[in-house]
Amino acid sequence: MELLKQKILSEGRVIGKDILKVDSFLNHQIDVALFNEIGKEFKRRFFDKKVTKILTIEASGIAIACIAAQYFKVPVVFAKKTESRNLDQETYESEAYSFTKQKTYSIRVSKRYMAKQDHILIIDDFLANGKAAQALIDIVHQAGAALAGVGIVIEKGFQNGGEILRSQNVQVESLAIVKSLEENQILFK
Ligand code: 5GP
């Protein structure tokens, strides 16, 4: 997606060798007009897939998923990272190792909001080693629901998440694939 790539090139900052910081439009401040184009593009890429719900993970996935959901005309469910007395007792749970935070965390979704009749499209901001996506897929499987695919805004192609998911025959659609962040340079595939 050319518009997204241009935005990454003009505003993205490289941290170390493998982290891309895009706080000015994706992870802190939000460019709503760009998100609108991202939502349309996800709809275009998954036009032939039956989708009854979009699943994402808090926090950054929520805004992306909500805007995309307007094109799919389905609800959004977001997996929660924190335990809360507000959350239903009956939940699907999974675990993921966070590459950026360097720790394992649990995610949970109330059983009330996912059923075996559902066709789930997973949407997230980044795909690195695929741990967050794998944990979301695990929850879809626990619910007995069908996985329509995985939509990612930025995939880091030099990490292996995309390869693992595609080898499992998951339709992964990444709107920008970064090939390398070496020497402070952002290169796309
Ligand atoms: P994975 O689970 O695929 O290893 O990592 C994906 C998650 O880690 C994303 O949801 C995102 O929050 C975070 N993440 C991984 N790499 C980056 C990065 O380079 N930049 C940002 N902003 N987040 C990242």
Question: What pLDDT does residue 13 have?
Answer: 97
Walking along the chain (189 residues) 10 residues at a time, the average pLDDT comes out as 98 96 98 98 98 97 98 98 80 92 94 97 98 98 98 98 98 98 95
Is residue 133 assigned to a domain? yes
Is residue 22 assigned to a domain? no
Domain count along the chain: 1
Give the domain extent around 144. Answer: 33-180
Averaged pLDDT of the chain: 96
Question: What pLDDT does residue 75 have?
Answer: 98
CA distance 87 to 70: 25
Query: To test the ligand 1 pocket, which listed residue (100, 152, 172) has its Cβ within 8 A of the most ligand atoms?
Result: 100
Question: What pLDDT does residue 21 have?
Answer: 98
Task: Give the contacts of 40 (CB within 8 A, at least 6 positions apart).
Answer: 71
Is residue 8 assigned to a domain? no
Q: Whose CA is nearest to atom 19 of ligand 1?
A: 19
Q: What is the pLDDT of residues 101-125, one digit of tens each?
A: 899 999 999 999 999 999 999 999 9
Is residue 139 assigned to a domain? yes
Is residue 64 assigned to a domain? yes
Q: What is the pLDDT of residues 27-38, one digit of tens each?
A: 999 999 999 999
| Cα–ligand 1 centroid distance for 143 (angstroms) | 25
The set of protein residues with a Cβ atom below 6 angstroms from ligand 1 is 19-22, 27, 60, 96, 99-100, 124-133, 156, 161
Place of tokens 């959901």: 69
Give the position, in ligand 1's atom list, of the atom nearest the Cα of 60.
12
Is residue 6 assigned to a domain? no
Is residue 49 assigned to a domain? yes
Angle between helix axes 60-72 and 32-45 (nearest 10 degrees) is 60
Enter the DSSP assignment of 184: G
| Cα–ligand 1 centroid distance for 31 (angstroms) | 19
Q: Identity (one letter) of the amino acid at 58? A: E
Question: What pLDDT does residue 68 have?
Answer: 98
Describe the strand order of the beta sheet including 76-79 as a list of residue ranges: 76-79, 53-57, 119-127, 146-156, 172-180, 187-188
Q: What is the CATH number of the domain that holds 142?
A: 3.40.50.2020
Is residue 17 assigned to a domain? no
Q: Which secondary-structure segment (H or E) carries 52?
A: none
